[in-house]
Structure 1
Amino acid sequence: MTSETRVTSVEEVENGFQRELDTDRWAAAETAYALAVRHRDGGNWDQSREWVQQCLRLLEGFPSDAEEQVATRRLSVGGVQLPTYLHEGVVRDRFGDIALTNDT
């Protein structure tokens, strides 16, 4: 059996995020991270910053004391490989200045 990963469009990933936001906030955080990567890699810095901030807001609601609490559940979203662990430190490390809020 072969496994093919189809890179979905940004619009499809954003639609998935909207569904997840109502049903699975952790999945929504993973998807927000993937959208931030997609926009950053496409050179759309403003959109990337918005998705980074959305991801960070979602992660605020989750405990992060142990590895199993921050372990991602999926390997990739929309063609973006997710980090093994997803928490504020990882997001800030991966996105640098983009992760800073406008008022910082």
Structure 2
Amino acid sequence: MTNQTRLASTDELESIFQRELATDRWAATETAYALAVRHRDLGDWPASQEWAQQCLRLLEGFPSETEEQVATGRTSVGGVQLPTYLHSGVVEERFGTLG
């Protein structure tokens, strides 16, 4: 796990994402969101959009009827703050309409 007091590089986050994708799809969804934020903050809008879309694709596999179902399991990933609730509305609000 990365040190939560510093921002992880996008390469570090991508490595975390690949591991989580094989073992914990919800954690991978959270990390995809963090990657979208990191790339946006670095000014790489195309990569940010790609990761936001990846996050949305992963979210499609989870139920989202209740707050418990969309509550994030962590407060941050690689130093990137996660929203309390992660669902398509939050992603689209923060990254615009993707498609």
Scaled by the length of structure 2, what TM-score is found? 0.93
1:45 matched to which residue of 2?
45
CA distance in structure 2 between the partners assigned to 1:6 and 1:61 by the alignment: 31
What is the DSSP-based 3-state SS (H/G/I as helix, E as strand, rest coil) of the residue aligned with 2:33?
helix
2:64 matched to which residue of 1?
64
Q: CA deviation at 1:7?
A: 1.8
CA distance in structure 1 between the partners assigned to 2:9 and 2:43 by the alignment: 16
CA distance in structure 1 between the partners assigned to 2:78 and 2:35 by the alignment: 8
The within-5 A match list for 1:83-94 is 83-94=83-94
CA distance in structure 1 between the partners assigned to 2:37 and 2:49 by the alignment: 10
Q: Which 5+ residue runs of structure 2 have no aligned equivalent? A: none
Q: CA deviation at 1:6?
A: 2.6
RMSD of equivalent CA atoms: 1.3
What is the DSSP-based 3-state SS (H/G/I as helix, E as strand, rest coil) of the residue aligned with 2:21?
helix
CA distance in structure 2 between the partners assigned to 1:78 and 1:92 by the alignment: 22
Q: Which 5+ residue runs of structure 1 have no aligned equivalent? A: none
